[in-house]
Amino acid sequence: MANDSEILPEILHVGIDLGTSRSAISASNGERFVVDSFVGWPADMVAKKVLKRDVLIGHEAVANRTMLDLHRPLERGLLKEGSDKDVEAVRELLKHLLRLVGVSSNGRTDASNVRAVVGVPAASLRTNKQYLRNSMKGIVDSLMIVSEPFAVAYGLNALLHTMIIDIGAGTTDFCVMKGRYPGEEDQRTLTVAGDSLDAQLLKLIEERYPQANVTVFMVREWKEKHSFVGEAPKRVLVTAPVKGVPTELDITNEMRAACETLVPPTVETMLDLLSRVEPEFQERVRNNIILSGGGGLIRNLSETLENALKQVGGGKVTHMPDPVFVGSDGGLALALDAPDSDWEKLTA
Amino acid sequence: MDRVKRQLLRQAVADNLDTIRGLPPRSLRPTRRFAKLFLRRAPLVIIPLMLASFAFLSSTGVPSTRKAAAIAPPPAARHVEASIATSMAPMLMTDTLEPVSASAFPLSVRRVVLDAGHGGSDPGASSISNVSEKEITLDIQKRLGALLRQNGFEVIATRDNDRLIPLRERARLANGSHSDIFVSIHVNSIPHPDNHGVETYYLGPTNDPTLTKLAATENLTSGYALADLRKLLDGVYADVRRDESQRLASAVQLQLFSGLRGVDPGLENWGVKRAPFIVLVATEMPAILAEVGCLSNEREAEMLRSGTYRQQIAQALFHGIHAYASANDAPPKKGT
């Protein structure tokens, strides 16, 4: 039997899509997980006694939110600055993700063996990245931070004459891949995204059904099941308490109106970025537009974008059927491809 | 594809190393900006100095006579030198002792970027009567552009129609155009509908929660939270742009208030202020943001509907820019 000390430490490569709403991790040991980006601490001694935990993360945190000091540590895809609690929350979230894929302080894979690639919004400032880097000290050994749509493009091998539109909760990121590392001129970030859609939908439902008791959590769930633009595939009927009585509400028009708030800025930015591609490559990019992120699942969105492309000669928009791990898988591909010599320079 | 991937990885690692070293993005690196500023402004100082030295040497004649004697050039050369000295001396004496207008050199404030706030799906502020900020700013920008062009300035507009241009894109356009100054035009909306006034911003820190909120609102389409800018701002506050931007803001605010007060006696002067608007952070030239009116005040909103009042605003902005440009064109005083 081999002595434990003779076993070489196992290097674990991970790709992390640190999202405002959900965070996903893909690891080189084959594990993949997604969690809601919520972290909560018991609000008082009673809550702690009931929950029997010091900190709750993800769906558990959302489910027990009434007993928690609940934090969503990312805002528009970026780590909030100025609140120690939010920094602590993001560290807890990252540690939780790593624990899920087998990283533990007393196991064969601990923080000193982890090389991570983390995706951030396309137009993040240097300071955002530095701040994230500081927050990850001690959690991983080496860290590479890349723009989220770049990670998506890398994972899909879509590195040349491609446009990635990644609609997340906090931001919608655009990136034109030209076979080089995307610079500022190739990328855009809009704050019109899933969260702003939720806020709009909640407002419209409250306007139509002022007596209904609806929360943003309910609205988010409805959106994820029924979102669409253009022609409604079927009536959107949901149940919410009205004066305490569960009541069926028809929110078809509200759902359409809220989802369609995404369309004009997305079309405008897509066409503007296209117009900046060298003329001889524009047609190729137009025919290689990839829609990723949760927003990519909005029904008819890719067709609506294709309709908008007709004014510039037509094009093809493909949406990822399973966008949850597209970013983290891309990050993992980057992590695995980077040579040891590069990782040594990127110590966290 | 492998070659492309290797190259992409190298660039991704280089970008991360820049972050670790605390280097700002290339477009914001101060060395390049200082060098550019120096290269653009240096001839303004060097050329008059050279002319002045030449005139001084020609008028005294001592060094050149000594030199001529010592070297003893051939007669033909001496003749040419003498004739140059004779013909240039009076001209140089006159020209260097009189102010030399920098307008003779295409190096001072000549190219102006005008930025009409908001646009497209981002209407900005709106009045009760449904006039939107994006329409007003675009119209004033067009009027101001015409005035500047008539007076010999080159004008670059960040948008000339109703479309949404992200804030970073506006800054990128301005930086790429090698312009001398950047003027962003906005219209305010405040919680107190009875008040209305004009104010002009330049880049700087603020502790005022109202201004922080305003900057956060105006920065909304940039994709960043205000908190994210704080550290970046520390690096650029010490920039030479800050002083220039303050001078430009003062000149514009003075003209805005004095020019519009005559038409609107109730107008308040809210002064020159500092705030971290993204267009001011990311532009590489002296940059200001002028809030030329208040849509939350019903009376002013009505005035802002009129082309005549918008023309008056454009004229006030023009006078401010012209005053700043003229001050920049003034040569150093004698003896300095």
- What's the average model confidence in pLDDT over A295-321? 92
Residue A256 has pLDDT above 70, yes or no: yes
Its CATH architecture, for the domain A4-152+326-345, is: 2-Layer Sandwich (3.30)
* A196 phi/psi in degrees, rounded to 5: -70, -30
**Do residue B223 and residue A123 have CB atoms under 8 angstroms apart?**
yes
Residue A253 has pLDDT above 60, yes or no: yes
Report how far apart the first and last C-alpha atoms of chain B are (Å, whole number): 62
Q: Quick one: which of A186, A189, A188 has its CA closest to A159?
A: A186
pLDDT at position A59: 87
Residue B30 pLDDT class (50, 70, 90 cuts): very low
Residue positions counted in chain B:
336
Which amino acid belongs to residue A277?
V
**Do residue A268 and residue B224 have CB atoms under 8 angstroms apart?**
no
Residue B103 has pLDDT above 80, yes or no: no
pLDDT at position B219: 55
C-alpha span between A304 and A259 (Å, rounded): 12
Contact (CB, 8 A) for A265 and B164: yes
**Do residue A157 and residue B166 have CB atoms under 8 angstroms apart?**
no
**Do residue A190 and residue B16 have CB atoms under 8 angstroms apart?**
no
Q: Quick one: which of A76, A48, A78, A77 has its CA closest to A64?
A: A48
Its CATH architecture, for the domain B108-329, is: 3-Layer(aba) Sandwich (3.40)
Most A CBs within 10 A among B1, B17, B19, hence the mutation to make, goes to B19
Residue A286 has pLDDT above 70, yes or no: yes
pLDDT at position B64: 37
**Shortest Cα–Cα distance, A222 to chain B (Å):** 26
Residue B176 has pLDDT above 80, yes or no: yes
- Tens digits of per-residue pLDDT, B198-229? 999 887 666 566 655 665 555 555 544 444 44
User: Which of A1-5, A192-196, B158-162 comes out lowest in average pLDDT?
Assistant: A1-5
C-alpha span between A243 and B163 (Å, rounded): 44
Contact (CB, 8 A) for A159 and A177: yes
User: Which of B102-116, B169-183, B208-222, B303-317 comes out lowest in average pLDDT?
Assistant: B208-222
**Do residue B25 and residue A159 have CB atoms under 8 angstroms apart?**
no
Q: pLDDT: is A253 or B20 the higher one?
A: A253
**Shortest Cα–Cα distance, A118 to chain B (Å):** 11
Find chain A residues with C-beta within 8 A of B227's C-beta. 80-82
Which amino acid belongs to residue B137?
T
Most A CBs within 10 A among B224, B231, B236, B278, hence the mutation to make, goes to B224
Pick A75's closest partner by Cβ from B120, B163, B225.
B225
Residue B94 has pLDDT above 90, yes or no: no
Contact (CB, 8 A) for A1 and A59: no
Three-state DSSP class for A146? strand
pLDDT at position B326: 83
pLDDT at position A169: 83
**Do residue B232 and residue A126 have CB atoms under 8 angstroms apart?**
yes
Interface of B with A (CB under 8 A): 1, 4-5, 7-20, 22-25, 27, 120-122, 163-166, 168-169, 172, 220-225, 227-232
Share of chain B above pLDDT 70, in %: 59
- What's the average model confidence in pLDDT over B238-254? 80
Which amino acid belongs to residue B244?
E
pLDDT at position A5: 43
**Do residue B1 and residue A159 have CB atoms under 8 angstroms apart?**
yes
Find chain B residues with C-beta within 8 A of A125's C-beta. 25, 224, 228-229, 232
**Do residue A127 and residue B231 have CB atoms under 8 angstroms apart?**
yes
Pick B228's closest partner by Cβ from A127, A160, A191.
A127
Cβ-based neighbours of B27, under 8 Å, separated by 6 or more: A184, B172, B175, B282, B284
C-alpha span between A249 and A254 (Å, rounded): 11
**Shortest Cα–Cα distance, B126 to chain A (Å):** 18
**Shortest Cα–Cα distance, B248 to chain A (Å):** 27
pLDDT at position B235: 44
Its CATH architecture, for the domain A194-260, is: 2-Layer Sandwich (3.30)
- What's the average model confidence in pLDDT over A127-132? 76
Residue positions counted in chain A:
348
Contact (CB, 8 A) for A136 and A35: no
Residue B54 pLDDT class (50, 70, 90 cuts): low
Q: Where are the domains of chain B?
A: 31-103, 108-329
**Do residue B24 and residue A131 have CB atoms under 8 angstroms apart?**
no
Q: Where are the domains of chain A?
A: 4-152+326-345, 194-260
Which parts of chain A are beta strand (E)?
A: 12-17, 22-27, 32-36, 39-42, 56-57, 68-71, 74-75, 78-79, 114-120, 142-147, 160-167, 172-178, 187-190, 237-242, 245-250, 289-292, 317-319
Residue B59 has pLDDT above 80, yes or no: no
DSSP A11: P
Find chain A residues with C-beta within 8 A of B4's C-beta. 159-160, 179
Residue B134 has pLDDT above 90, yes or no: yes
* A·B CB contacts under 8 A: 130
pLDDT at position A337: 93
**Do residue A342 and residue B9 have CB atoms under 8 angstroms apart?**
yes
* B131 phi/psi in degrees, rounded to 5: -90, 130
- What's the average model confidence in pLDDT over B301-319? 93
- Tens digits of per-residue pLDDT, A219-231? 999 999 999 999 9
DSSP A1: -
What is the pLDDT of chain A when averaged over all its residues?
87
Distances (CA, A) of B73 to A115, A157, B83, B89, B136: 75, 74, 14, 21, 70
Find chain B residues with C-beta within 8 A of A265's C-beta. 120-122, 164
Residue A277: how many other CB atoms lie within 10 Å: 18
Quote the ipTM score.
0.81
pLDDT at position B44: 54
Residue listed under structure tokens 């009116």: B293
Residue listed under structure tokens 């807890």: A92
Three-state DSSP class for A301? helix
Find chain A residues with C-beta within 8 A of B166's C-beta. 188-190, 269
- Tens digits of per-residue pLDDT, B287-299? 899 999 999 898 8
Find chain B residues with C-beta within 8 A of A118's C-beta. none
Q: Quick one: which of A140, A154, A332, A162 has its CA closest to B11?
A: A154
**Do residue B166 and residue A171 have CB atoms under 8 angstroms apart?**
no
**Nearest Cα residue in chain B from A124:** B224
H-helix segments, B201-277: 209-218, 226-236, 240-261
- What's the average model confidence in pLDDT over B10-36? 66
Residue B234 has pLDDT above 50, yes or no: no
Angle between helices B209-218 and B226-236 (to 10 degrees): 100
**Shortest Cα–Cα distance, A236 to chain B (Å):** 27
C-alpha span between B214 and B220 (Å, rounded): 10
* A248 phi/psi in degrees, rounded to 5: -85, 130
- Tens digits of per-residue pLDDT, A153-181? 999 999 999 999 999 888 888 999 988 88
Please state the pTM of the whole predicted model.
Answer: 0.56
Structure tokens at B201: 């911003």
Residue A317 has pLDDT above 50, yes or no: yes
Residue A278 has pLDDT above 50, yes or no: yes
Find chain B residues with C-beta within 8 A of A269's C-beta. 164, 166
Residue B136 has pLDDT above 90, yes or no: yes
